[in-house]
Amino acid sequence: MSGNSKLNIRRRNLLQGGLVLGASQIASPFIMTARAEDTIKIGWDNPLTGTYAAPGKNELIGAKLALEEINAKGGIAGRKVEIIVEDSTSGDAGTAVQKARKLIDKDKVNFLIGNVNSALAIAMAQVSNEKGILHIVPGGHSDTMTGATCHWNVFRVCNTTQMEANAIAPTLIKTYGKKWYYITPDYAFGHALQSGMEKACTALGGTKIGGDLTPLGTTDFSSYLIKAQSANPDVIIFLVQGDDMVNALKQAVQFGLDKKVHLAGAQQELENLKGLPPEARVGNWVMEWYFDQPNVPHVADFNAKVVKASGYVPTSRTWFGYVGIWTCALAAAGAKSIDAAKMAKALQDFHLPPEIALCPDGAFYRAGQNQLISNLYVGKARVKGVKGPDDLFEVTSVVKGADVAGTLEESGCKMTWPA
């Protein structure tokens, strides 16, 4: 075995402090150092490479900010908190599961965090439930996570796909038309989001006239865009995310589709808009959190901390990571314990403090489902920033999560607790 191979085996990603991380630093592993036996450990199993590297990076920046704040307040249960970081990759469930088992069995983490990719998050949840460890999913949206495959120990920060669909569908139907064509990523998240959009569209009198499933990591969308144009829809619904969204919208505008049909979708990310050329920043979307909230307490302070740490404004993903880590600390404080079952019970119907919720109507974990209910921000992409170069989204309405979440019964979650 070469010296480099031995070094690679010894490498681990451990974040203990210091918030400023460049992209190259995040992608590179850190040398694991000795840890005190009484340290609280949070296992981070999330993308640092691949299609979802950018949102994964920003979730990590938010997590590190929360870590710094928690340690400044005395840690969790009076113990210092550390994050052990593993790159799950963006699409390999086997790797994500392997990393989850390593974090739990070898590193002995007290909490598990991840994943951006819904399919990976669902696979990881099976492991965390088997091991009985509190698991926070910051940014994997597939409905089943807090629906049909829900677990007592798994809590989700981001919205369900049905919530996003319910928030955006009325605007698209009313303003742009009822015939929709879908371009959808071919995995759990994409399938769930398209199903949610179809349900919301049909309820408002719309119809699906076609669609394509695209492999994760697609770079050439030309064949899908040609088919979409030929179907003569009112709206082409883009459900791809990460680098796939950037490639799809960029090519759609190069083909001139934005002049012939409305381009839109459900979930949009500031990471995507920043990665697009100005002319491709088009369409109506849902942001799950937005940094420009001048009348909401604590948001300006949070923004300033993130800008100082990273050099740019927070995104939804930054907030997801921030809330995910703070949820661990708040659960332990509420339970007065780091026992997973006690912490999970303490989070039932738990309302985040305003300085963590950072949205106008607050945010709470719905009892019996473990789904965070917060605001959604409906609006449209901007060609150029208004309040700075990163202000690339115009919020036209703020939707209360409770108004689009449906009922607990509709979620399909049948929560089973350990004896």
Same domain, 387 and 345: no
The amino acid at 112: L
How far is the C-alpha of 170 from the C-alpha of 174, rounded, in Å? Answer: 6
Same domain, 317 and 389: no
Do 150 and 415 touch, CB atoms closer than 8 A?
yes
Number of structural domains found in the chain: 2
Same domain, 220 and 336: no
- Evaluate whether residue 173 is within a structural domain: yes
Q: How confident is the model at residue 37 (pLDDT cuts 50, 70, 90)?
A: low
The pLDDT of residue 419 is 87
The pLDDT of residue 34 is 33
Query: What tokens does 143 get?
Result: 């409905």
- Taking the whole predicted model, whether its pTM rises above 0.85 is answered as yes
Give me the CATH number covering residue 222.
3.40.50.2300
The pLDDT of residue 4 is 39
Nearest residue to 307 (alpha-carbon basis) of 291, 283, 286, 321: 291
End-to-end CA distance of the chain: give it in Å, rounded: 48
DSSP designation for 352: P
pLDDT at 5 over 80: no
- Evaluate whether residue 346 is within a structural domain: yes
- Evaluate whether residue 412 is within a structural domain: no
Same domain, 55 and 119: yes
Same domain, 89 and 238: no
- pLDDT (average), residues 121-145: 97
- The percent of residues in the chain predicted with pLDDT above 90, rounded, is 91
Same domain, 270 and 200: yes
Write the burial class of residue 10 (CB in 10 Å: 0-12 exposed, 13-18 middle, 19+ buried).
exposed
The pLDDT of residue 186 is 97
The amino acid at 143: D
pLDDT tens digits, 39-83: 999 999 999 999 999 999 999 999 999 999 999 999 999 999 999
How far is the C-alpha of 159 from the C-alpha of 187, rounded, in Å? Answer: 17
User: Which domain covers residue 46, as residue numbers?
Assistant: 3-159+298-374
